[in-house]
Structure 1
Amino acid sequence: MKHIESTASGGVRRITLNRPEVLNAINHAMHYELESAFDAFAAAEDEQVCVVTGAGRAFCAGSDLKAAITEGRQPYPPHGYAGLIERFDCQKPIIAAVNGLALGGGFELALACDLIIAAESASFGLPEPLVGAVALGGGLHRLARMVPAKQAMGMILASRRVGAGEGYALGFVTEVVPDTQLDAAIDRWCADILRASPVSIRASKELVAAGLAEPDIAAAMRMQSAHPAFQAWAASDDAREGPRAFAEKRAPQWNGK
């Protein structure tokens, strides 16, 4: 792949946006490279966590506007902007390791991940109105669901950029770490996820997403047992292995099935 790096090891898929000379701005070809990388992660039975980050001093500055002028309006891949924005069927956790600027579509890419681990120097914003655009890659809707409405509107209408610490205070950043400790923090989060049953992790992610679509907690709890994710977990080997290992005072051996 020309514009990204995608590798897998130890149950973790790592995707690096690799156009540092343009702050990892996304052009047409890059959308499809990201689609392919996320497809590979979703299909791989031996990969349980995905980490997305950027090369250089930026996570992603959003769309490559200069390339857009020459390329014209091009269709996005099946799962939308960056191959992730409309990937609502991915059951496995995706972590954004935000190492710097995350603006426009770059912020939308981070918001589409399950966790955002940010370096202290990271900053976030949706500056699309400043260039006559609208944040149509889910940023308007995800941000408004993650933070208080007035704070979301302030960021959106004033194209306001916030730092990692403020993002954490608002609630859309999971953890803030010193820049030099970002890689170690990502390794720690991956290790914490990998020690658990993959089936339980997948079911938990799906049930959270499904529950948020329900009108209240009671309705969310009522729908749990009928959800395919619950049924897959209930019928799994892992659901039996966990209690068995606890009773036998040994570490569980998950097979993810």
Structure 2
Amino acid sequence: MHSYTYLQVAEQERVFTVTIRREEKLNAMNREMMAELTDCFGWLHRQDQARAVVLTGTGKAFMAGADIEGYHGFDMAQFFAFQDQGREMYRSIETCGKPVIAAVNGYALGGGFELALACDLIVASEKAKFGLPEVKLGLVPGGGGIQKIARAVGPYAAKELTMTGRFVTAAEGRIMQFVHQVTEPEALLETALKLAQDIAAQAPLAVQALKKLINEGRDASLETAQAYDRAYLASLFHSEDAKEGIAAFVAKRPPQFRGR
């Protein structure tokens, strides 16, 4: 298992937990942290034993955005290199073959909100706060968050959130449907792990296909997306997992999926 400066990685029953550890800076991201997250999710993508991932933070924040002090004084080329590295980090989560659950323990602001939106599901503590406050700096979100939040909550709510830069509570996020579940702070990790374990118990190839189909199908026409669905169904039909799932159903026993 890899060792990182800003991340702690642990495994329990095929579920990996990645914890961001830069508590003194509210887990604000710098270039080293972005490189570590990109490397970590690339590594997790290649691990057959990994069935699901929980991503969380320590202290009062999930991630309070980018470390502004770190890029203060950048020229435009340096600034966009920083933004490009961030987009690569988010993409490593979106393309990871494992479902990723964000367990948002506190502030998820700017790039931290974009990080949560890159995950497949968001479980949030009652103390969590979400926001894209870049407008207060005279900027706009640079990691893809504008289009992601617009797709998640609709264009009108997205305009209100980004144009005011206000913070959203976990309860409001649940109403807006980008938060899957709200928990008491002390139950956050347990709840996220339970959800991850429920997913990890399913057929891995089918779970991977569902993530890919939903992520990619939303930008395709309905006809094209349904053709993708059919193609993946055909590829899974002869898999060992499909045979096992059907046999287990007929025998009325729990299936033993192997990702084959």
1:132 aligns with 2:135: no
Q: Return closer, same or farther for 1:159/1:118 CA change in 2, 3 Å cut-off.
A: same
1:19 corresponds in structure 2 to 22
Q: How many angstroms does 1:81 deviate by?
A: 3.7
- Asked whether the equivalents of residues 20 and 55 of structure 1 are also in contact (C-alpha less than 8 Å), the reply is yes
Return the letter of the residue paired with 2:176.
L
Q: Which has the higher contact order (CA 8 A, sep 6+)?
A: 2
Bigger shift: residues 110-119 or 234-243:
234-243
Q: Describe the superposition over 1:17-75 as per-residue Cα deviations: whole angstroms up to 9, x where unpaired.
A: 10011100001111111111111111100001111111111100010011223777263
Q: How does 1:234-249 map to 2 (within 5 A)?
A: 234-249=237-252
- Asked whether the equivalents of residues 31 and 77 of structure 1 are also in contact (C-alpha less than 8 Å), the reply is no
Return the letter of the residue paired with 1:45.
D
Q: Return closer, same or farther for 1:79/1:70 CA change in 2, 3 Å cut-off.
A: closer
Q: Return closer, same or farther for 1:46/1:77 CA change in 2, 3 Å cut-off.
A: farther
- Between the aligned partners of 2:239 and 2:19, the Cα distance in structure 1 is 33
1:221 aligns with 2:246: no
- Between the aligned partners of 1:17 and 1:71, the Cα distance in structure 2 is 25
More helix by share: 2
1:50 aligns with 2:53: yes
Q: 2:39 aligns with which of 31, 36, 39?
A: 36
Q: Percent identity?
A: 37
Q: How many angstroms does 1:88 deviate by?
A: 4.2
Q: How many angstroms does 1:208 deviate by?
A: 1.5
1:2 corresponds in structure 2 to 5
Q: 2:127 aligns with which of 100, 113, 121?
A: 121
Number of residue equivalences: 254
Q: Return closer, same or farther for 1:57/1:87 CA change in 2, 3 Å cut-off.
A: closer
Q: Return closer, same or farther for 1:183/1:3 CA change in 2, 3 Å cut-off.
A: same
Q: How many angstroms does 1:80 deviate by?
A: 4.0
- Asked whether the equivalents of residues 31 and 76 of structure 1 are also in contact (C-alpha less than 8 Å), the reply is no
Q: How does 1:56-205 map to 2 (within 5 A)?
A: 56-69=59-72, 73=78, 75=81, 80-81=86-87, 83-85=89-91, 87-205=93-211
- What TM-score comes out, normalization by structure 2 length? 0.91
- Between the aligned partners of 1:240 and 1:91, the Cα distance in structure 2 is 22
The CA RMSD measured in Å over matched residues stands at: 2.0
Return the letter of the residue paired with 2:225.
A
Gaps in structure 2 of 5+ consecutive residues: none
SS of the residue corresponding to residue 44 of structure 1 reads coil
1:210 corresponds in structure 2 to 216
- Between the aligned partners of 1:87 and 1:99, the Cα distance in structure 2 is 19
Return the letter of the residue paired with 1:33.
E
